Structure 1
Amino acid sequence: MTEPEDFFDQLDDAEAVTADDPDSVQSSVEQSEADRIRSERQTISQTPTRSQRRSYLAPKYVARCRFCRCKFSDIDVAHHHQGRCKAEPVAQCLHCEEEIQSQESSEEHLKSCDAYHSAIQEEAEQEDSSATETEGEDSESFSRLFIDPQPHEFHGYLKWDCADRENPLRSYFGLNSLQKEHDFEKHGPLRTGVNIGGDEWTVQFRFKESGIAARDSPNFELDEVREYLIYVYPSAYSSWDDAKSEARKRAYFLISPRWPDIETKEGLRSMSNPCGIEGYDVEVEGSNWDFEQYPRVLQQALGALADRQGFRFDSHTPINPGDFDSDRIHHSSNIVDAELFVRILKALSGRVIAYDGTLTRISMLLAGDREGYVKSVRDDRECPGHYHTTTIDSRRAAELIGGHSLAKEFKHYHMRNPDAVEGTELENPKIGVSLQNSINDGTVYWDDLDTLTRELDEALLNVLEWSGISTDPTEGAYVADDYFEVAGSRRWRKLVSGSLPRTESKQDDQIFAIASQMNTTDTELVETLLTDGGKISPSELAESIGVHLDTIYRALKRLGPLVDHSYGEVQLGSKYIAQELTGYIDSVSQSIQAGWESALDSLTRAESYADDDPWCRWLDRYGGKISRTEGADPDDLDIGFNPSTLREARQLLREGARRWAEVTGEPLRQFGFKFAPAITTVDGKRYAPRNFAAALGTPG
């Protein structure tokens, strides 16, 4: 659509007016137009200033009308003239072909032109479609290509509530019917085959005692309630155990019936059915299937078993795989284990398993001694890096990667017998991340599967990133095997670049800055935490060190970044901090000792006191801080402890003077010339006697 040409599009082609002579045509047209517009707009006239009068005599025109050639110096006037110029030729609407007398008329016409509005609507729809396609392309271009991990172990409890069906337990009765058709004593477990995803699989069927009491219902005619076991494994293997021993793709299902008010046999622990479902509780275990595939694998296995019914009995109860549709999974279904892994070149794994590698740093940097749960395992008996893990709970998961909430185990591991696969792709290790349900905060439901998969994927990609291993599948870091394919996809994932190095650097800076400022109380506090190896209360610290509780609180405030102090318990912030502080303590203690000797003007301490110096212990106990002054003035002595009254403050300073005199051998009164003490009471009164020597007695 071509819009009516705007009048001011012609400004570039307008004839500039530079002469001062009045233009007769312009004067007659513009002045009358201007007077009328000002009248319509009720413009308030003002007496023109001298400069304004001069501008009226020599106007500067901005444009000339391309129809009547009228010149304008006022923008508002020009706009008004634009839609009313009688010299403008008649135009025609491009949409409905109706004649239009002027540009102003064209604007009014377009408001009511149906053909115009139809064209606008069609154009908008085309733009929306184009925008959607562009958005998709942008998402694809801005997302990043990542290696696709392989699902490994899985364990969950899936439930189906079939109470809305005429016979909710019909498939359970069908499995019972199949059990009775097969002679297990003579032939062993029932085996059949099924094709899943183009591959041939063995389906093995067994049963076992359940401990569930028979249901008291006229429709439940079974005297014994059994649970049914279904195994799915590659048909090339003779048994489930053989397939499992070689870490092959497999699935296992234990089907147990459920109904409201279910009970166990006498003497057995009672069982729960909190949601009161009437249907099935299926324990699911497997490896190497996509997590969401397990319900479908169960259905296909049940279908294969249903095909084996009717060979012995003419009348049997059929198994109905449709009872286990994925869209009917009950919301209480939950997941207790799931793992994603990649297989990397053995030469690249050192950065993951080294003593200062990624797994160790995750444990050291995020693990408080007894805060939450952290566990590290290093087993190199079979080969270097044979089985290394670091496990963190939900709290630490959130600290490691923002937004995460699931407890996880980070793994680096080789095959069970690494020598047997030397020279093959299986000699290269796996790096995996799995859910640790036993220490997770809350239940992970089947409905949370997308969240679970995203967290495991992000955690795995971050471990690779922190270890300097490319997350791009095209850069040669990965090795394919029977299940893990070196392939990638573009997706949005959160990578916390350099998270662990930044954390380490931050903690190093904190340790260095604070350790260099420690006093004796600080070092003894840290030594106590290192020796205890865990949490201790502030009061226990005060008693252990032999200082006042207020002194401990001030020390904790100084040591804040290095210690966790909450709910009346104190511990070092992380294992890494503990490890690094161990190397600082001796040197810090020596520096403090040298500092006190300098503050005491190198006076010789009584040999009988050795390391048990009453003066230093008094300073530590009450938070005394000495500041050297210039010249012969006494050194400032500031006491951190806040006594209740001025009387207690005086008593406290006298005690300090006695301890100083006891160590230095100097007269008690000399303390008042050596130090200018100051102390603040609880109510904020500051006691700083000008001549403290007089308060300590007369000379001699």
Structure 2
Amino acid sequence: MKTVTLAYHEFDANLLYSDDGLAAFFAADSAVKEGQGSQSAKFSAEGEQWRARLSYQDSNIVHPGETTPLGTEWRLETMREYRIKVYRDPQEDPIGQQEFVGHIAPRWPGMQGEKSDGSRVEIPVPEGFGEGINVRVQGSNIAFDRYPDLLARAGAALGIAGRYFREPHPMTNIQDAERYARIHRDASGPVHARDGPIASMGHLLEDDRAGYRKVVQNDDDEHGRNLPGYYHTVTLGERRVREAFPDHRLPKEVKHYYAREAEALDEDNPLAHPKVGASLQVSRLDDDETVRWRDLDRLERELDQTVLSVLADAGIDVAPSGGGPFFEDAYFTPEVDESGPDPVGLDLTRVRQSQESVVVRHLADGLRPTQWDALETLVTDGGEVAPADIAHDHDRHVESVRAALRDMEDLVHREYANVSLRSEYVAELVHDAVAEARESVKRAAETTAKAMEAAERGMGETMSTFIAWAARHGVDVSDARDARLTLRFDDHTDAGQAIREGFRVWKDAGLPEERYRQAKVRFADGSRGDAWRWLTPG
């Protein structure tokens, strides 16, 4: 499908190498010593000019002694680690943000690190890895798959054989990766709107309290200046991301964000316009899961599909001619490519309707008192909630609470000892239902009180019935015997229906129809009318 080509942004990975053991580490040590502390070099890659600088830093790795546990001779007295900074030639990259740093550290089984308090901790090394190096690369604005090649070319230019960095070990893992598009600020509003895809994904797809939920909607920059959409994000874990993207498995953060200085920049500056991006969130993976180098293609496809789907859901043309709503910057060119991934129809309306139907069905079927108790606690208690907590709050038996929750499994989520509502959106719907139930009880009490008052005043059962209707609908009725009947409503919403219903009650009570038809109708906003206008057909 034709779609705009997204740009590469941040990248963070542990590139592991073991084919040559610790040779690359010793080579880096020799190169640093030869350069009396550092080395600098230039090299070319794919017709581009790059620069590299090698330096060292102190290390907290515990010295292995004369040999490593696997028998490799260790002749270095001082423990150091090495850094290779790789960056595009300034003449080709005036902004200076196409770069990365490769932090080189040795690895062997059973190695330890010393903490600041003198205690020691084991540094994890993949099982079966043997000896080798870990190169932690952290960079930006470079194609993800280019990092090993650029590292190898930089190493060769600095006097470290490039072959040491060519083929990452299968246990190489990716910690962060982001793809983005820059959108004209006048077109990006639907992305970060309160009912836009970012907010909707957070409220519709995230459990209301279990696990991890993060929805950020910040419209003020660091200087307190208002900039709508300044930093809006939603983070979806493994389970929730599949609700929006059924064939995705990697947790992600979706974001709409501006540069810090955006509000002060002229409109022709790219940084005055926001990015819409998606980034990997490895912290949301289970402890025994990771993203390997072999997953790189899948990762890039999922990130691209996420961004394009969010843009499409916001009504933005993802395959425009002539740039469309996109804004070019130093690293993003809005070119349309026929090999792009198909955007996924987020269909958040479907999810919203599905969650609404669940709530409505339970309310329509009628909830047992214990179920109402459970829902009331879930929408009012901000902490972790267990069935025992609900039972304690409402003086119920815990087994009756558990039974009530089992009958609402499509409305609530139970995990281990805690229970929560299925999503933030479901929580909002339930909150409104609970609030309405409370208001109904309050109105019922007021109705009873007013009916009793009417009876005490000698108005009789017929007028008591009418007053009960008025109390139930929140209508203020003034019935001075020597003045016109006055009906007061808070607003115009459904006033006509309420007035007609009141007329039926009035007639059923045998009260004079003309008196009701001539009643004055007043609203809180000061507007007024005569009741007969709502009672006349057409």
TM interval, shorter chain, is 0.7 to 0.9
What secondary structure, in the 3-state scheme, does the structure 1 residue paired with 2:74 have? coil
Read off the aligned partner of 2:4 and give its amino acid letter.
I
Q: Which of 199, 203, 211 does residue 52 from structure 2 map onto?
A: 203
Correspondence 1:192 to 2:46: no
- Specify the alignment match of 2:173 in structure 1: 334
Do the aligned partners of 2:108 and 2:131 also contact (CA within 8 Å) in 1?
yes
- Specify the alignment match of 2:437 in structure 1: 588
C-alpha displacement of 1:233: 1.8
CA spacing shift, 1:194–1:420, aligned 2, 3 Å: farther
The CA deviation string for residues 320-342 of structure 1, in whole angstroms up to 9 with x for no partner, is 111211xx311111011011111
- Specify the alignment match of 1:430 in structure 2: 275
CA spacing shift, 1:569–1:595, aligned 2, 3 Å: farther
* Higher Cα Rg, which structure: 1
- Specify the alignment match of 1:40 in structure 2: none
The separation in 2 between residues aligned to 1:560 and 1:211, in whole angstroms, is 51
CA spacing shift, 1:438–1:421, aligned 2, 3 Å: farther
Correspondence 1:249 to 2:98: yes
Do the aligned partners of 2:174 and 2:293 also contact (CA within 8 Å) in 1?
yes
The CA deviation string for residues 4-28 of structure 1, in whole angstroms up to 9 with x for no partner, is xxxxxxxxxxxxxxxxxxxxxxxxx
C-alpha displacement of 1:147: 1.6
Superposed counterparts of 1:657-676, under 5 Å: none
The separation in 2 between residues aligned to 1:361 and 1:177, in whole angstroms, is 55
Greater Cα shift, 150-159 or 373-382: 373-382
Superposed counterparts of 1:448-459, under 5 Å: 448-459=295-306
Do the aligned partners of 1:171 and 1:321 also contact (CA within 8 Å) in 2?
no
- Specify the alignment match of 1:514 in structure 2: 362
Read off the aligned partner of 2:98 and give its amino acid letter.
K
CA spacing shift, 1:594–1:547, aligned 2, 3 Å: farther
Do the aligned partners of 1:378 and 1:389 also contact (CA within 8 Å) in 2?
yes
Read off the aligned partner of 2:184 and give its amino acid letter.
L
Q: Which of 377, 396, 401 does residue 245 from structure 2 map onto?
A: 401
CA spacing shift, 1:571–1:170, aligned 2, 3 Å: closer
CA spacing shift, 1:374–1:587, aligned 2, 3 Å: closer
CA spacing shift, 1:211–1:535, aligned 2, 3 Å: closer
The separation in 2 between residues aligned to 1:223 and 1:250, in whole angstroms, is 32
Read off the aligned partner of 2:10 and give its amino acid letter.
E
The separation in 1 between residues aligned to 2:392 and 2:26, in whole angstroms, is 70
Correspondence 1:291 to 2:175: no
- Specify the alignment match of 2:307 in structure 1: 460
Correspondence 1:490 to 2:338: yes
Read off the aligned partner of 2:87 and give its amino acid letter.
Y
- Specify the alignment match of 1:156 in structure 2: 13
The separation in 2 between residues aligned to 1:153 and 1:414, in whole angstroms, is 15
The separation in 2 between residues aligned to 1:492 and 1:545, in whole angstroms, is 56
C-alpha displacement of 1:568: 4.9
C-alpha displacement of 1:597: 12
What secondary structure, in the 3-state scheme, does the structure 2 residue paired with 1:385 have? strand
Superposed counterparts of 1:313-462, under 5 Å: 319-325=160-166, 328-382=167-221, 383-418=227-262, 419-441=264-286, 442-462=289-309
CA spacing shift, 1:585–1:224, aligned 2, 3 Å: same
Q: Which of 500, 518, 524 does residue 373 from structure 2 map onto?
A: 524
- Specify the alignment match of 1:77 in structure 2: none
Do the aligned partners of 2:55 and 2:84 also contact (CA within 8 Å) in 1?
yes
Q: Which has the higher helix share?
A: 1
- Specify the alignment match of 2:456 in structure 1: none
C-alpha displacement of 1:417: 0.9
What secondary structure, in the 3-state scheme, does the structure 2 residue paired with 1:454 have? helix
Q: Which of 540, 550, 554 does residue 389 from structure 2 map onto?
A: 540
Correspondence 1:216 to 2:66: yes
Q: Which has the higher strand share?
A: 2
Correspondence 1:273 to 2:142: no
The separation in 1 between residues aligned to 2:442 and 2:228, in whole angstroms, is 46
CA spacing shift, 1:551–1:410, aligned 2, 3 Å: same
The CA deviation string for residues 269-300 of structure 1, in whole angstroms up to 9 with x for no partner, is 33232334322211111101110100001011
Q: Which of 404, 418, 434 does residue 569 from structure 1 map onto?
A: 418
- Specify the alignment match of 2:353 in structure 1: 505
Do the aligned partners of 2:24 and 2:133 also contact (CA within 8 Å) in 1?
no
Percent sequence identity over matched residues?
33
CA spacing shift, 1:262–1:528, aligned 2, 3 Å: closer
Q: Which runs of 5+ in 2 are unaligned?
A: 222-226, 454-538
The CA deviation string for residues 143-187 of structure 1, in whole angstroms up to 9 with x for no partner, is x11222111100000111125xxxx43333332222122234xxx
CA spacing shift, 1:594–1:522, aligned 2, 3 Å: farther
**Whose RCO is larger (CA < 8 A, sep 6+)?**
2
The separation in 1 between residues aligned to 2:168 and 2:74, in whole angstroms, is 24
CA spacing shift, 1:521–1:272, aligned 2, 3 Å: closer
The separation in 2 between residues aligned to 1:564 and 1:491, in whole angstroms, is 40
The separation in 2 between residues aligned to 1:521 and 1:324, in whole angstroms, is 64
The separation in 2 between residues aligned to 1:269 and 1:523, in whole angstroms, is 51
TM-score by structure 1 length?
A: 0.57
- Specify the alignment match of 1:176 in structure 2: 29
The separation in 2 between residues aligned to 1:182 and 1:554, in whole angstroms, is 74
- Specify the alignment match of 2:533 in structure 1: none
Q: Which of 136, 144, 147 does residue 4 from structure 2 map onto?
A: 147
The separation in 2 between residues aligned to 1:206 and 1:371, in whole angstroms, is 46
Read off the aligned partner of 2:189 and give its amino acid letter.
G
The separation in 2 between residues aligned to 1:559 and 1:170, in whole angstroms, is 61
TM-score by structure 2 length?
A: 0.73
Q: Which runs of 5+ in 1 are unaligned?
A: 1-143, 307-318, 605-700
Please give the root-mean-square deviation of Cα atoms over the aligned residues, in Å: 3.1
Read off the aligned partner of 1:291 and give its amino acid letter.
F
